[in-house]
Structures are given as structure tokens and as C-alpha cells.
Amino acid sequence: MIEHYVLLAAGEGRSAEVDAALDRFLIEIIALDSVVEITAGTNFNQVGLDRGWTHGMLVRLTDADDLPGYWEHEAHVRLVEILDETCDDRFALDYETSGET
């Protein structure tokens, strides 16, 4: 299983636009068979906020072979375009797990 974490730093006054883009993305990307789980939300951790990280997202994918299909999916491409306009910065981290807890 692949854990795909994303941190977002919404631009000044752009938080609502980021929220709306993430909401739309969650609805559209869940149809992709390789998406096991997806969550996103507004950060309330003060340490992260002090560093500018206003939003976060976690996407769990079945395996690394699914990453290209996820990245190239029209919903992801559209999200990235919106985030390029609305965020000052973003950071992604991907790693593989056994999928077991």
C-alpha cells in the first residue's frame, strides 16, 4: 500500500478556495479503483500553522504501480492546477507500507 501525504500552504485569503478544491477532488478521485482511502482537511495544529501549513491530505493507494494513474487522473491534474493558483507552497511525501496495522 502507498501512503501519499500532502501538506498545503494556502495563500493569504485563499483558504476557502483550497477547501472547495479538496472537497471536489475527494468526490471525484474516490472513483479511481486504486484509491483505498482518502481524507483531507484544514490544519489546526499550531506548530504546522506556524510553518504555514494550512491544509493536509492523505491518500492511500493499493501499490506503487498505481501512482502514475493517480497523478494523471483528470481530477488530480485539475486539483494541481488550482493549488498552483491558490497555494504559496505544497509538499508531498510518499512511502510504501505493508497495509497491515
The predicted model gives 72-96 an average pLDDT of 96
How confident is the model over 7-49, as pLDDT tens digits? 999 999 999 999 999 999 999 999 899 999 999 999 999 999 9
The residues, ordered by sequence, that sit 6+ positions from 68 with a Cβ below 8 Å of its Cβ are: none
Going from the C-alpha of 40 to that of each of 57, 65, 98, the distances in angstroms are 4, 23, 22
Tell which wins on pLDDT, 63 or 85: 85
Grid coordinates of 64: 506503487
Grid coordinates of 73: 487522473
All domains in the chain, ordered by first residue: 2-95 (3.30.70.100)
Please tell me the pTM assigned to this model. Answer: 0.90
How confident is the model over 43-74, as pLDDT tens digits? 999 999 999 999 999 999 999 888 899 999 99
pLDDT score at 98: 84
pLDDT score at 91: 96
Strand ranges across the sheet with 55-61: 35-42, 55-61, 2-10, 87-96
